[in-house]
Amino acid sequence: MTAKRRDTRQRAVIWHALDEAPGPLTVEELFGVASQQLPRLGIATVYRTVKMLEEDGEIVLVKLPDGLSRYEPASREEHRHFSCTRCTRTFDVDLGPQWPNEVELAGGFVIQHHEVTLFGLCPECRQ
């Protein structure tokens, strides 16, 4: 279904920014980073590009409880998201304890998957 994609500078810069980041980036953060290398970049292009990359399975959408859309490379191994309550940046951290899937809860609810977001202080902010 995926249409033919062209190799553009915008796509490369945006992908690179995501690949370098220590965790998922919001469109706004991505726009800030990418704009430095592409001054005429429009925010709409960022939105369209992340949608394409997501369609192509190169990146994944991460939704944290703040409601903002964040993206990160799909290639990262399974992990949790840690949101710093001070600097508000989001990091990838190790998986840690698991939650049982396909388990039936009292009341007849069947869990298919779950999402955990950790909140606290990142190494820089705890100082």
Which listed residue (9, 16, 76, 86) binds DNA by CB under 7 A?
Answer: 9
Would you give the binding string for DNA spanning residues 65-104, x where CB under 7 A is met? ---xx-----------------------------------
Q: What is the nearest approach in angstroms of DNA to the Cβ of residue 115?
A: 17
Would you give the binding string for a second copy spanning residues 19-48, x where CB under 8 A is met? ------------------------------
**Contact predicate 33/14, CB 8 Å:** no
**Contact predicate 111/101, CB 8 Å:** yes
With vertex at residue 1, the alpha carbon angle to CA 50 and CA 112, rounded to the nearest 5 degrees, is: 70
Q: Which amino acid is located at 94 in the chain? A: D
